[in-house]
């Protein structure tokens, strides 16, 4: 009998420290950087973001989200035999943040590793976990997106520092006789490395290059809208579905304009799009599971519905996953 995988629980966590646009505008003004709530909202749809305290790590956020997902699924940490963490802001160079989360949860023994595909990371990680469950390599997986992007922001660059926030989202993915993950479509194009990157690394005990985020916003926007439509349509085709069948589009929460443009291309009304970017900004790999959990816990996203998850990020990477909840 063929094995499938289904999401059986969702969870998320945002750091307590919430900065509204007004808070950030006031903070930036002290360093001579000028912006406004109106400027941020008009261009991005973002109204607030959460920043982790200095003593809080990516794995702390991931662990909190994972515990909520486990509770929703009715599983104990000891039931988990696979942990994948999608992140671009790990606790350490190594070991993986997934190994650290595994230890904090007390879920030791199963496979644990990180996936680095930036804002597409959760879609990539979910696809990998699905393949491992279908193959029999795992039965109960935790798939987590977690980021502390506040640590890599240049607060002298108003075009990027207002966009990002910290947070984590998680799902429990379990083996099932009924299809849950229906199709996925993943891509990357390394020639676009330069339009969104953090061009620094650790060498000889010091940082070489620039350890802060750099982005060509216009280039990212232009590329994102096109590839998100292509990935969504490809996933639909693989599953024998059409865009009209989608109950909810749950995109990477980067910019409301990108989400609106993608929905328009798929001929989906915005009332079929889960939007949380206004409350937490761009949380990179965490944004899709954050939005998914918000939709589930609000009661809008229900079991049996068809969901399209999609993301695009530095690399350049992009992808989509079509699933039945």
Q: Given this model, what pLDDT does residue 259 score? A: 96
- Cα separation, 204 vs 188, in Å, equals 31
C-alpha 188, offset from chain centre: 16
What is the tens place of the pLDDT at every residue in 165-210?
A: 999 999 999 999 999 999 999 999 999 999 999 999 999 999 999 9
Q: Given this model, what pLDDT does residue 1 score? A: 81
Q: Given this model, what pLDDT does residue 154 score? A: 96
Helices 121-135 and 287-298: crossing angle in degrees, nearest 10, is: 80
Q: Which residues of the chain have pLDDT under 70?
A: none
Mean pLDDT of the chain: 97
CATH architecture of 182-324: 3-Layer(aba) Sandwich (3.40)
CATH class of 4-178: alpha beta
C-alpha 126, offset from chain centre: 11
- Cα separation, 255 vs 275, in Å, equals 10
pTM, rounded to two decimals: 0.97
Question: How far, CA to CA in Å, does 53 sit from each of 16, 24, 50, 169, 276?
Answer: 9, 16, 10, 18, 22
What is the tens place of the pLDDT at every residue in 263-287?
A: 999 999 999 999 999 999 999 999 9
State the catalytic residues.
119, 252, 282
Q: What is the 3-state secondary structure (H, E, C) of the chain?
A: CCCEEEEEEEEEECCCCEEEHHHHHHHHHCCCCCCCHHHHHHHHCCCEEECCCCCCCHHHHHHHHHHHHHHHHCCCHHHCCEEEEECCCCCCCCCCHHHHHHHHHCCCCCEEEEECCHHHHHHHHHHHHHHHHHHCCCCEEEEEEEEEHHHHCCCCCHHHHCCECEEEEEEEEEEECCCCEEEEEEEECHHHHHHEECCEEEECCEEEECCCCEECHHHHHHHHHHHHHHHHHHHHHHHCCCHHHCCEEEECCCCHHHHHHHHHHCCCCHHHECCCHHHHCECHHHHHHHHHHHHHHHCCCCCCCEEEEEEEECCCEEEEEEEEC
Q: Given this model, what pLDDT does residue 314 score? A: 97
Domain range summary for the chain, segments of one domain joined by +: 4-178, 182-324
Residues in a beta bridge with 80:
none
Do the two domains 4-178 and 182-324 of this chain adopt the same fold?
yes
Q: Given this model, what pLDDT does residue 90 score? A: 98
Question: How far, CA to CA in Å, does 118 sit from each of 5, 146, 202, 311?
Answer: 24, 10, 19, 9
């Amino acid at each position: 009998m063929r094995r499938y995988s289904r999401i059986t629980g969702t969870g998320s966590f945002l750091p307590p420290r919430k900065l509204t646009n007004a808070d950030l505008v006031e903070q930036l003004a002290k360093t001579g950087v000028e912006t406004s709530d109106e400027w941020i909202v008009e261009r991005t749809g973002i109204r607030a973001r959460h920043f982790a305290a200095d003593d809080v790590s990516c794995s702390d956020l991931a662990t909190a989200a994972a515990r909520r997902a486990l509770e929703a699924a009715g599983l104990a940490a000891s039931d988990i035999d696979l942990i994948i963490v999608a992140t671009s802001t790990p606790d350490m160079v190594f070991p993986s943040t997934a190994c650290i989360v595994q230890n904090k949860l007390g879920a030791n023994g199963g496979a644990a590793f990180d996936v680095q595909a930036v804002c597409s990371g959760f879609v990539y990680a979910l696809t990998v976990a699905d393949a491992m469950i279908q193959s029999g390599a795992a039965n109960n997986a935790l798939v987590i997106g977690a980021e502390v992007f506040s640590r890599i922001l240049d607060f002298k660059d108003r075009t990027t520092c207002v966009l990002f926030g910290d947070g984590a989202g998680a799902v429990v993915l379990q083996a099932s006789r009924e299809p849950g993950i229906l199709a996925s479509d993943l891509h990357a194009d390394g020639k676009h490395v330069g339009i969104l990157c953090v061009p620094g690394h650790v060498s000889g005990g010091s940082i070489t290059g620039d350890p802060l985020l750099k982005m060509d916003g216009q280039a990212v926007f232009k590329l994102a809208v096109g590839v998100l439509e292509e990935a969504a349509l490809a996933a639909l085709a693989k599953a024998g579905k059409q865009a009209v069948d989608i109950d909810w589009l749950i995109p990477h929460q980067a910019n409301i304009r990108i989400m609106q443009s993608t929905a328009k291309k798929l001929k989906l009304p915005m009332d079929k799009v889960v939007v949380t970017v206004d409350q937490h900004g761009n949380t990179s790999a965490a944004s899709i599971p954050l939005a998914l959990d918000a939709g589930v816990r609000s009661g809008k996203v229900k079991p049996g519905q068809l969901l399209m998850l999609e993301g695009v990020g530095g690399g350049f990477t992009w992808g989509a996953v079509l699933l039945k909840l």
